[in-house]
Amino acid sequence: MPLAFPSLSHGTVAFGFFNIETHMLLLEQLYFFADRFCEAAVALSDERREEIELEAWRIGRREAAGNLHGAIAGLDLSGFIGATYRAWPFPRRPGGFRQAPDGQRNEARVRAMIDAFGTREPVILTQDRAAVSIGEYRFSRAGFEQLLAYVVRGGYPRWRDDAPPGYVRQMIEALAARGVTIPADAEL
């Protein structure tokens, strides 16, 4: 479930996973896969890199994006988010509400779904001494690390069996080797 995060450019923004059976993240109107986001974060941590391109989609119209809470309830399955909930409904048992560490298995289906509602638009991640930007969204370095910590935890509700996927473990190790520690144990 996406949560609210502070940005320097847009105030509070929504960021996170929106369907537990996919590995796609949303940042307001931008959508991108978590494994590519983790790879971009590692590449950007190299101080010689000032920008990284991230494959992304933009869904500008609210109707095309869908209604997350309506989709979770099974009442409004419109738009892209609704399409993902038609394919993978919200679990009936509360214990089933955990982020799937193998969400990339559904990537081909998710790509087909988002291509029907959004526009492919590469997003550039940039950094300077004070901040990191994801497209037009600018975050303090601490704020960007909060986004990474969300992914490390598996968002809210956390990874199924508390087992993050390999791409998350690789990001943690690569960032730690560069002196960046993500506070994954902090509460959401």
> Which pair of tokens denotes residue 50?
């000032």
Residue 47 reports pLDDT greater than 80: no
Mean pLDDT, rounded, of the chain = 94
CA 45, chain centre distance (Å)? 18
Residue 64 reports pLDDT greater than 70: yes
Q: Which pTM was predicted?
A: 0.94
* Tens digits of residue pLDDT in 13-43: 999 999 999 999 999 999 999 999 999 999 9
**pLDDT computed for residue 50 by the predictor:** 81
- Maximum separation of any 2 CA atoms in the chain, in Å: 48
Residue 162 reports pLDDT greater than 50: yes
> Which pair of tokens denotes residue 41?
């974060």
**pLDDT computed for residue 53 by the predictor:** 96
Count of residues making up the chain: 188
Cβ atoms within 10 Å, residue 148: 23
* Tens digits of residue pLDDT in 77-106: 999 999 999 999 999 988 899 999 999 999
CA 156, chain centre distance (Å)? 11
Instruction: List Cβ neighbours of 137 (8 Å cut-off, separation of 6 or more).
Output: 7, 9, 10, 13, 27, 28, 30
> Which pair of tokens denotes residue 104?
């990339």
DSSP state letter for 159: B
Looking at residue 123, its amino acid is: V
* Tens digits of residue pLDDT in 108-159: 999 999 999 999 999 999 998 899 999 999 999 999 999 999 999 999 999 9
**pLDDT computed for residue 36 by the predictor:** 98
**Mapping DSSP to helix (H, G, I), strand (E, B) and coil, where does residue 123 land?**
strand
**pLDDT computed for residue 184 by the predictor:** 64
**pLDDT computed for residue 188 by the predictor:** 46
Answer for the pair 139, 125: CB distance below 8 angstroms, yes or no. Answer: no
**pLDDT computed for residue 182 by the predictor:** 85
DSSP characters over 74-95: TS---HHHHHHHHHSPPPSSGG
